[in-house]
Chain A
Amino acid sequence: MQKFTTHTGTGIPLRRNNIDTDQIIPSRFLKRVSRSGFEDALFAEWRKDPDFILNTAPYSGGSILVAGTDFGIGSSREHAVWGLLDYGIRVVVSARFADIFRGNSGKAGLLTVQVSEDDVDRLWDLLDREPQTDLLVDLSSQTITTPESVIKFDVDPYVKWRLEMGYDDISLTEQHADRIEAYERRRPGFLPDCRFQSA
């Protein structure tokens, strides 16, 4: 996984609530079997509109998406995170994220920053007024710095540690192999298995 420490980039004000993962990446792009190359799929329908924010300079080259509340609702598709990363987005800022999307982001190295709706409003206003403004996102101090203010954000300490170190979960879990084996010996015998003679 890509490490995350600090990131400076252009903010993209995406003034919509309830952005679901079908919008972030429509299902027809989910037929691919690769894990990369999804940049064309990001917001594919909305990008057909020439006035969409990602078709507007300088936002089209942005890397910090500032979106409305309840970002990433709906389908569990991790392709949504891959689409954002492949496009060049490193940070998504919102007042609330859907759980599965947020979990997927943490696994793939995309930082999700949760701030208040008022902070989102202030960032939107700033990015509208001063499109060229760079935002500095610092994971260690948990701050977004703009020319006008410093916004603190909360992040799960474990997710923060993993992002800073770039650790992947599987190797961390494999260190507990003995505990997994011990648990397996305790499992009730009546639990089902997935073996079928007829299938």
Chain B
Amino acid sequence: MGFTLAEKVWNNHIVHHEDGSPDLLYIDLHLVNEVTSPQAFEGLRNAGRMVRRPELTLAMEDHNVPTSGLDKPIDDPISALQVQTLRRNCAEFGVELFKMGGEEQGIVHVVGPQLGLTQPGMTIVCGDSHTSTHGAFGALAFGIGTSEAEHVLATQTLPAAPFKTMAVNIEGELPPGTSSKDVILALIAQIGTGGGQGYVLEYRGSAVEKMSMEARMTMCNMSIEAGARAGLISPDRTTLDYLKGRLKSPQGEAWDEAEALWLSLSTDPDATFDAEVTLDAGSIAPYVTWGTNPGQGIPITGSIPSPKDFEDERERKAAERALSYMGLEAGMAMKSVPVDTVFLGSCTNGRIEDLRTAAGVLNGRRIKPGMRMLVVPGSMKVKAQAEAEGLDQVFADAGAEWRFAGCSMCLGMNPDQVGPGERCASTSNRNFEGRQGLGSRTHLVSPAVAAATAIRGTISTPADLN
């Protein structure tokens, strides 16, 4: 019997297998940020250990960094100390670091792919759950904790528990105005925040084959929001076209060798999955979350559900609590919900295609008076590209703020926060209570819906503007 893509990548990385123990996997790329690494480096120091393969490790200042006023020191002394600590650790242990404001800096999950560091068949880890983004290339990529980060720094390996496989079949043609963000929100609404628990998801089907690499990254990025260990997609011509010529992509004969290996990784026809779920792409509408976890989403044309709609007592209570936190009434039309802030950015939707989509909607229009719209490119390279295309001017003319790169308002660890009781339409990945700032209320949306919402002031699609 054949193997799935995920199984092949896993099997190619087994350093040691012993029945009754987790497999010891080799890690090809370890990404590091300032938030989850200080205690890992401290652990190494206390034990007198070195970083085994510093050249397979890349560090990034992304979570804490301000997105404006980069010529000044970081205001928040605790954030500043954390960034300083990363700089000190990287210097001491010989790890490459991209600092805030530098031309290669950005959200680590945006930077890895654009440099060609993310390649099919690799194992990639980072102390950040959205590492699943890199699965779009057919890499096995997953988030780890700080103890595991220390383990990878010390040994370049990780003991990993076995996983189950789930095929996510997305067949058909996505309707105009919808995107891979809507697909993944629809999937999570269907299977729930725990539906993928224990599984590596493989996105397959004609709709996936037609998606760009950036659209695939958006989908893989939110695999963790379905509780999955990872999410990945078979490498194909689209993957190769994206990788060709990138700084760290193989060249010449090495490319030929790599291409042959990459294309052999696809799931074998006779391989079986432990579970399977199918979505009809043609029936997917723009999705918006109404509650306080990413599974609480509905099509934009729908109404806020009533707790009475839920048979399970736990879900009913969760819905009651979510509506109360979100300040919403059951039965309200989603499109009537007024918004104060729009955030366009994050490792989910902060790439150039996302900015182009939003700029296309905003072009020649103004956002609603009183509305605050923050546009935060996923990386400095995305920022430069957008500026070369004049997108920054479109955003500025529309009344939006154009910023430097970072995680920003997705989790509000820097000064970019949503105020208490304020409502934000956000292209990010989590709508948890307080995620974007104390008391903040988040609706997860696609870039197109974010832009249209900024203009109308209520949750909207571009079609509503005509």
A130 touches B (CB below 8 Å): no
B36 touches A (CB below 8 Å): yes
Greatest chain B CB density within 10 A among A26, A74, A183, A192 is at: A192
The interface residues of chain A lying within 8 Å CB-to-CB of B255 are: 190
The interface residues of chain A lying within 8 Å CB-to-CB of B52 are: 180
The interface residues of chain B lying within 8 Å CB-to-CB of A125 are: none
Q: How far is the CA of A96 from the CA of B293 in the complex (A)?
A: 16
| B96 touching A107, Cβ below 8 Å | no
Greatest chain A CB density within 10 A among B78, B147, B154 is at: B147
A77 to chain B, nearest CB (A): 7
| B26 touching A74, Cβ below 8 Å | no
Q: Quick one: which of B22, B42, B155, B293 contacts A158, CB cutoff 8 A?
A: B22
A156 touches B (CB below 8 Å): yes
The interface residues of chain A lying within 8 Å CB-to-CB of B116 are: 192
The interface residues of chain A lying within 8 Å CB-to-CB of B157 are: 173, 176, 180
**Which range holds the interface residue count of chain A?**
35 or more
| B318 touching A18, Cβ below 8 Å | yes
B197 to chain A, nearest CB (A): 6
B117 touches A (CB below 8 Å): yes
The interface residues of chain B lying within 8 Å CB-to-CB of A79 are: 146
| B194 touching A70, Cβ below 8 Å | yes
B430 touches A (CB below 8 Å): yes
B182 touches A (CB below 8 Å): no
B384 to chain A, nearest CB (A): 14
The interface residues of chain B lying within 8 Å CB-to-CB of A183 are: 15, 26
Q: Quick one: which of B55, B194, B434 contacts A194, CB cutoff 8 A?
A: B55
Nearest A residue to B163 via CB reads: A99
B 405-418 binary contact with A (CB < 8 Å = 1; else 0): 00000011100000
Q: Quick one: which of A20, A104, A157, A188 contacts B147, CB cutoff 8 A?
A: A104
| B117 touching A192, Cβ below 8 Å | yes
Q: How many inter-chain residue pairs (CB < 8 Å) link A and B? A: 212
A76 touches B (CB below 8 Å): yes
A111 to chain B, nearest CB (A): 15
B4 to chain A, nearest CB (A): 18
B240 touches A (CB below 8 Å): no
Task: Take A70-B194, A192-B248 as given contacts and tell me if A76 and B127 are in contact as well, using a CB distance cutoff of 8 Å.
Answer: yes
Q: How far is the CA of A112 from the CA of B35 in the complex (A)?
A: 25
A180 to chain B, nearest CB (A): 6
B165 to chain A, nearest CB (A): 14
| A196 touching B20, Cβ below 8 Å | no
Among residues 90 to 139 in chain A, which have CB atoms less than 8 Å away from a CB atom of chain B? 96-100, 103-104, 107-108, 117
B250 to chain A, nearest CB (A): 4
A149 touches B (CB below 8 Å): no
B81 touches A (CB below 8 Å): yes
The stretch among A2-10, A28-36, A58-66 that forms the contact with chain B is A28-36
Task: Take A17-B318, A173-B155, A190-B254 as given contacts and tell me if A158 and B20 are in contact as well, using a CB distance cutoff of 8 Å.
Answer: yes
Q: Quick one: which of B96, B148, B154, B155 contacts A195, CB cutoff 8 A?
A: B96
Q: How far is the CA of A190 from the CA of B229 in the complex (A)?
A: 27
Task: Take A31-B35, A45-B438, A77-B36 as given contacts and tell me if A157 and B20 are in contact as well, using a CB distance cutoff of 8 Å.
Answer: yes
| A76 touching B293, Cβ below 8 Å | no
The interface residues of chain A lying within 8 Å CB-to-CB of B119 are: 191-192
A174 touches B (CB below 8 Å): yes
B261 touches A (CB below 8 Å): yes
Q: How far is the CA of A26 from the CA of B142 in the complex (A)?
A: 22
B150 to chain A, nearest CB (A): 7
B 141-167 binary contact with A (CB < 8 Å = 1; else 0): 011111110110011110101000000
Task: Take A17-B315, A27-B412, A196-B96 as given contacts and tell me if A187 and B26 are in contact as well, using a CB distance cutoff of 8 Å.
Answer: yes
| B151 touching A35, Cβ below 8 Å | no
B 301-325 binary contact with A (CB < 8 Å = 1; else 0): 0000000000000110110010000
B 234-266 binary contact with A (CB < 8 Å = 1; else 0): 000000000000001110001101100100000
B260 to chain A, nearest CB (A): 11
A100 to chain B, nearest CB (A): 6
A57 touches B (CB below 8 Å): no
A47 touches B (CB below 8 Å): no
Q: Quick one: which of B249, B250, B433 contacts A23, CB cutoff 8 A?
A: B433
The interface residues of chain A lying within 8 Å CB-to-CB of B76 are: 31
| B434 touching A45, Cβ below 8 Å | yes
The interface residues of chain B lying within 8 Å CB-to-CB of A30 are: 35-36, 63, 413
The interface residues of chain A lying within 8 Å CB-to-CB of B272 are: none
Q: Quick one: which of B58, B117, B129, B151 contacts A76, CB cutoff 8 A?
A: B129
Task: Take A18-B193, A98-B194 as given contacts and tell me if A33 and B85 are in contact as well, using a CB distance cutoff of 8 Å.
Answer: yes
The interface residues of chain A lying within 8 Å CB-to-CB of B49 are: 170
The interface residues of chain A lying within 8 Å CB-to-CB of B93 are: none
| A199 touching B36, Cβ below 8 Å | no
A147 touches B (CB below 8 Å): no
Nearest A residue to B433 via CB reads: A23
Q: How far is the CA of A197 from the CA of B314 in the complex (A)?
A: 55
B122 touches A (CB below 8 Å): yes
Q: Quick one: which of B143, B258, B412 contacts A190, CB cutoff 8 A?
A: B258
| A76 touching B144, Cβ below 8 Å | yes
Q: How far is the CA of A98 from the CA of B151 in the complex (A)?
A: 21
Task: Take A81-B145, A158-B22, A192-B117 as given contacts and tell me if A76 and B128 are in contact as well, using a CB distance cutoff of 8 Å.
Answer: yes
B337 touches A (CB below 8 Å): no
| B257 touching A188, Cβ below 8 Å | yes
Nearest B residue to A29 via CB reads: B78
B 188-200 binary contact with A (CB < 8 Å = 1; else 0): 0000111001100
6 more A-B contacts (CB under 8 A) besides A100-B142, A107-B147, A199-B102?
A73-B293, A103-B144, A170-B155, A173-B154, A194-B58, A195-B96
Closest 4 CB pairs of A and B: A78-B145, A104-B145, A107-B147, A33-B38
Q: Enumerate 6 A-B pairs (CB-CB under 8 Å) in ascending A order.
A: A23-B433, A74-B430, A103-B148, A170-B47, A173-B24, A180-B15
